[in-house]
C-alpha cells in the first residue's frame, strides 16, 4: 500500500470496543475483564463495553465473538478451556475452537490452590487425606 493510503486509514479503534466475558458478572474472569476494559478505554481513549455472555461452558460468549466482524472491535476474554472443549464433549462437534481466534496477549496467570478448613490438620496433600485417626479418606 502507498503511504497516502496508510495515512488516510482510520486509526484503531474507530468506535466502541465490545469486550465479551463468557462468564456471569462478579466472578474472577469478569473482574479481570472489567479491569482490562478499563485499561483499554484509558489507553485507547475509546469506550469499552463489557458484555457478559455466560453459558455452555463459555461456548455462548465464544460463539458470539467468533461471529463478530473481524475488525478488532469485538474482543473475547477467554480462559484456556477452548482447547479442552472437544475432549469434554466427544459426542458433539464443537462450534468454536481455538482456531476461530487469534491471540492478542496473555492477560493474567491465575493460580489455583487447594485448601481445607483451618481445624483440619493438614500441611500437604499426603497429610491432607489423613482426617481421622490415621485413616485416609
Summarize pLDDT for 8-66 with one digit per residue, the tens: 778 899 999 999 999 999 999 999 999 999 999 999 999 999 999 999 888 899 999 99
**Per-residue pLDDT, 6:** 65
Phi and psi angles of residue 129, each rounded to the nearest 5 degrees, phi first: -80, -10
Report the pLDDT value the prediction gives residue 40, as an integer from 0 to 100.
97
* 53 backbone dihedrals φ, ψ, rounded to 5°: -135, 70
Query: Phi and psi for 106 in degrees, rounded to 5?
Result: -80, 125
Lowest mean pLDDT among 1-10, 91-100, 106-115: 1-10
Distance CA 17, CA 51 (A): 10
What the block records as the C-alpha cell of 118 is 483451618
Maximum mean pLDDT: which of 57-66, 69-78, 87-96? 69-78
- Residue 81 in this model has a pLDDT that exceeds 70: no
* CATH fold of 3-100: D-Maltodextrin-Binding Protein; domain 2 (3.40.190)
Joined together, the cell numbers standing for residue 38 give 478499563
Q: Which helix (H) or strand (E) holds 55?
A: none
**8 Å CB contact between 44 and 4:** no
Which comes out higher in pLDDT, residue 15 or 132? Answer: 15
Give the model's pLDDT for residue 31.
96
Whether 56 and 87 have beta carbons less than 8 Å apart is answered as no
Across the chain, what does the average pLDDT equal? Answer: 83
Per the DSSP assignment, residues forming a β-bridge with 18 are 49, 74
Mean pLDDT, residues 97-119:
85
Amino acid at each position: 500500500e502507498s503511504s497516502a493510503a496508510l495515512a488516510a486509514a482510520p486509526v484503531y479503534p474507530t468506535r466502541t470496543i465490545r469486550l465479551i466475558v463468557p462468564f456471569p458478572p462478579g466472578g474472577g474472569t469478569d473482574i479481570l475483564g472489567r479491569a482490562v476494559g478499563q485499561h483499554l478505554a484509558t489507553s485507547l481513549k475509546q469506550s469499552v463495553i463489557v458484555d457478559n455472555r455466560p453459558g455452555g461452558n463459555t461456548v455462548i460468549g465464544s460463539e458470539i465473538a467468533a461471529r463478530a466482524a473481524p475488525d478488532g472491535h469485538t474482543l473475547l476474554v477467554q480462559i484456556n478451556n477452548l482447547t479442552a472443549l472437544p475432549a469434554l464433549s466427544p459426542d458433539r462437534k464443537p462450534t468454536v475452537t481455538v482456531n476461530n481466534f487469534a491471540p492478542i496477549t496473555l492477560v493474567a496467570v491465575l493460580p489455583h490452590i487447594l485448601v481445607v478448613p483451618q481445624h483440619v490438620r493438614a500441611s500437604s496433600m499426603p497429610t491432607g487425606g489423613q482426617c481421622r485417626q490415621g485413616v485416609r479418606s
